[in-house]
Structures are given as structure tokens and as C-alpha cells.
Structure 1
Amino acid sequence: MRARPEIGPVPQEIVRRLSPSGVLRAGINLSNFLLVSSRNPDGSPAGVSPDLARALADTLGLELRYVTYPSPGPLADAAAHDEWDVALVGAEPQRAETIAFTPAYAEIEATYLVPKGSGLHAIEDVDAPGVRIAVTDRTAYGLWLERNIRSASLVGTASFDDALSALVEGRADALAGLRSRLVSDQDAHPNTRILEGRFMAVQQAIGVPRAKAEILPYLEQYVAAARGSGFIADLIRHHGVEGLSVAGS
């Protein structure tokens, strides 16, 4: 794997502003298996996002502590409560009200799973009157659907498994999700099929609380270096995750 990306000297006042304690608290969403794909022997998260946070802490000369959340909603809520210094999470306009985001370092396609005999054959077929879309509340793709769906209705659920049950039990006509997750669910439910294409791509980025937005230019440099040097691509290969790609590639 390539060495961690470098961005040159970072002013110490910026480092202190980001992490007054000298320990970088990195907010990590545990629900995305493409980004947190395993656990270390000590129980800490392992994967593309935790490794990127580790490399950032090393670049800044800081110790690292992971602050984990079961899903992205609580992580985003914590931005106003000084629970983390940086967060690795999908960038969405609703979250941007409290979080300042870098450009994305990686992206993940989102599409639909439908019953095999469904009359829905293309992405554009889904947003139609009478169509019910099952979606996990407060996910990046769910927030996108809330903003962009015009004619279909959303069946919001507390978890992805609940959304899948809504489709299987006939309470929804389509299931929204990350393509990689839908592939595994299609294998478990052979009477379903995945629509070609995508309705959006989740933009995985580094964020800071809005109160620390002045630090963002340095994190933007870091993300650009991580992408441009091949470091993100190396992390994806190292962890063997499929369905995650370097943003802008």
C-alpha cells in the first residue's frame, strides 16, 4: 500500500483548533459495510474509512480515537454536541446544515431492487404515481430521495432489513439501497432483480462541525492528495470491497 498522503506543514494553530486535546476523534458510521468492512483484534473498526482517519491523524501528528455510531443519522446529529472532530460520512445538503464537507473521496452507487415480475424496468419508471419505495430513514440516498422524488411515495423504515421486508411482503414496489448491498439481497431473494443504472451516488467525504469550518481548506487538500496519489484506490483494493470507487474516477 502507498504511504499516507502528505499535504505539507499544517499550522499548529489549525491542528489545535481541530483537536484541542491532541487526540483526533473520528466519527465513523458502522452501518456501511463497504467503508467499515471488519474489526481489528481490539474491536476497533477496520476498513477504508477507519484507515483514512488513521492516515489523517498520522499526517497531523495526532493520536486517534474512533467514535462509532450505528448509522449515519446519529453521527450527523452529534455534530452539534462536540462528540467528534472529523466525521467520515456521506455528504448531503441536509447534513451540511451542521457539517462542513470536503469534496468526496469515494462514491457508492444507489439503485433499486424490485420483484422479478415488476413492471418497473428502468430507474425513471420508479418515480411514478402509485409506486411505493421502501427506504432506510436518514441514509444519504434516503435523504436524496426525499428531495427528488416527485410522484412515487416513500415507505420509510428504521433499518435496511425492515425496508427489505417491506418489499418481500408486498408493502413496497421497489427497495432503494446501495447496489453492493442489493446484490447480496438479490442472491437471497431470487425472485427479485436489480435495475440497471443508478438514481444517485453517495458521496463519501470528510466533515467537520460548522463551528470549525475554517479548517476545511486543509482537509480539502488532504482529500485531494489521498485521491490523486492513489491512496484511496489502494485502500479499496487492500480491503477487497466491491461497489466502492474513488470519487471522480
Structure 2
Amino acid sequence: MEFDPSIIRAFAPMGAVRASINLGNPILAVKDASGKPSGVSVDLARALAEKLGVELELVVFDAAGKSVQAVSEERADFGFFAIDPLRGKTIAFSEPYVLIEGYYMVRDASPIRRNADVDQPQHRVAVGRGSAYDLFLTRELKHAQIVRAPTSPTVVQTFLEQDLEIAAGVKQQLEADAHRAPGLRLLDERFMVIQQAMGVPISRGTAAAHALRTFVEEMKASGFVAQALARHGIAGASVAPAG
């Protein structure tokens, strides 16, 4: 695909295009050995900048909520987020490019065995502030109390330090934390499928939103997203079907 000058201006009004990168989700981005952001979202950001024919500037955050806010306030020109209706008030989303599973984790001795056991008044659920599963569980849980950790990578730390009953998050992050802290287990079923998409401020117009959706579909169809997942050794996430 080729972008006409009006689309390029919509994405990069400052000259370079600024990509909001969230390091709070290791499936999407992490710091490499040199300390630079690396991952599927960074690869996609570079590919978009190349197609636009402009320089890329990475605006890096440690939590999804901060990344969303940067794009909503136009301190970044596009970003990588889980689709959510609340975020959709300020951000125009593409179709998802990756699907990620959200799971609950408890202690081995916990009587909680099924997702249906979670939503009880005596239960406290640790989530990452502003994350997709924070937004989802805030709507879905009617009785359990939600306790918000500063970021998604600190969910298990908060869960342990505050002696909470349940931690909620991305399956791969919870599994990694469970290996470092014995005596923890994931429940057997996911509570949500997180649809990771790209997004641009709604204020940039419908043409820019359409161009971003077209770009994402091409990146999926060409095998780019699948190759990026493999290149970065990401297991447990899948390429989203065509939109």
C-alpha cells in the first residue's frame, strides 16, 4: 500500500511519526540487551514509518494506561492497545493483529478452582492499572474488589505483598512470575481474549483510521506479524484472523 500526502500529514504532523510503546506487556515489547525497546509492536511501528516514508520516534511507557493517554492526548501519533470501548472514545482502532489470553492466578492452597469462583465479596483481585483486563473486570466483576497495581508487571508483586486472593493478567506474564515465586497456579480457563490492535487518535480523521486498518490487515496477510512473533520467541499469542 502507498499513502498519499494527506495521510502522511495526518500520521506525522511533526515530521517524524511518534509511536507509543508499552513495555508493560512483554508479548508486545521489552527492552533488549542494549536497553532499547524491542518486540512485535516495535517491528510494526518501524514498518509503518517506512511505508509513510518518515522517521520513527518511539515514546516508551511502562503501563498500558500511560500509553493510551499519550495517544489520546496526541503526545504520540499511534500506538498498540487492547481494544476496549472506553478507549474507543478517543482512539480509532484497527482490527486486532494479535490475540492474547487473560487468566487468573491463585495460591496452590486456595479453594478457588474455577473462574466462576472468583466474583465473591471476600475476594480481592490484583490487576495492572489501566490495562485491558482492568477495564474488562471493572465492568464484569460485581462483587469482588479490584486492587490496582501500578503496572501489569507488578501485579504478582502486589498480589503477594498485600496477601490478595487472586491475580489477573496476561497468561505469559503470570506463568513467568509463577516460575519465580513457587506455590502459585493458574486457573484452567481464560477469562477473556485480549484483542491487541493499533490505534490512532480519532482527531486525525477517518482516512487515517482506514489507512491504519488497511496496514494491519496487510501485515497479517503477508506473514509479517507471524514472523515477528517467531523472531521474538513469543509463545501463547496467536495472529488474529483477517478483519
- Partner SS state of residue 103, structure 1: coil
SS of aligned partner of 2:205: helix
1:1-249 equivalent positions in 2, closer than 5 A:
8-39=1-32, 41=34, 43-160=35-152, 163-169=155-161, 171-214=163-206, 215-248=208-241
Give CA-to-partner distance per residue, 1:139-169, whole Å, 9 cap, x none: 1111111111122221222234653244335
Contact 1:107 1:245 in 2 (8 A): yes
- Given that 2:127 and 2:152 are in contact with CA atoms closer than 8 Å, whether structure 1 keeps it comes out as yes
Distance 2:26 2:157 in 1: 20
Give structure 2 stretches of 5+ with no counterpart: none
Runs (4+) off by over 3 Å: 159-163
TM-score, normalised relative to structure 2? 0.91
Distance change >3 Å, CA 144–CA 218, structure 1 → 2: same
How far apart, CA to CA, are the structure 1 residues paired with 2:219 and 2:158?
Answer: 39
CA distance in 2, matches of 1:45, 1:165: 23
Aligned residue number for residue 3 of structure 1: none
CA offset at residue 80 of structure 1?
A: 4.1
Conserved? CA contact 2:63–2:151, under 8 Å = no
* 2:131–2:152 contact (8 Å) kept in structure 1: no
For 1:69 and 1:207, the matched residues in 2 are separated by: 16
Equivalent position SS for 2:20: strand
On the 8 A contact 1:133/1:152 being kept in 2, the answer is yes
> In structure 2, what residue type is equivalent to 1:45?
P
**CA displacement, residues 110-129 of structure 1 (integer Å, 9 cap, x when unaligned):** 10110112111112221233
Q: Is the alpha carbon distance of 1:208 and 1:122 closer, same or farther for their aligned partners in structure 2, counting shifts above 3 Å?
A: same
CA distance in 2, matches of 1:162, 1:62: 35
Q: Per-residue CA shift, 1:188-211, capped at 9, x if unaligned?
A: 222111111211122211111110
Instruction: Note if contact 1:44-1:66 (Cα within 8 Å) is conserved in structure 2.
Output: no
How far does residue 174 in structure 1 lie from its aligned partner after superposition? 0.8
Quote the RMSD (CA, aligned, Å).
1.9
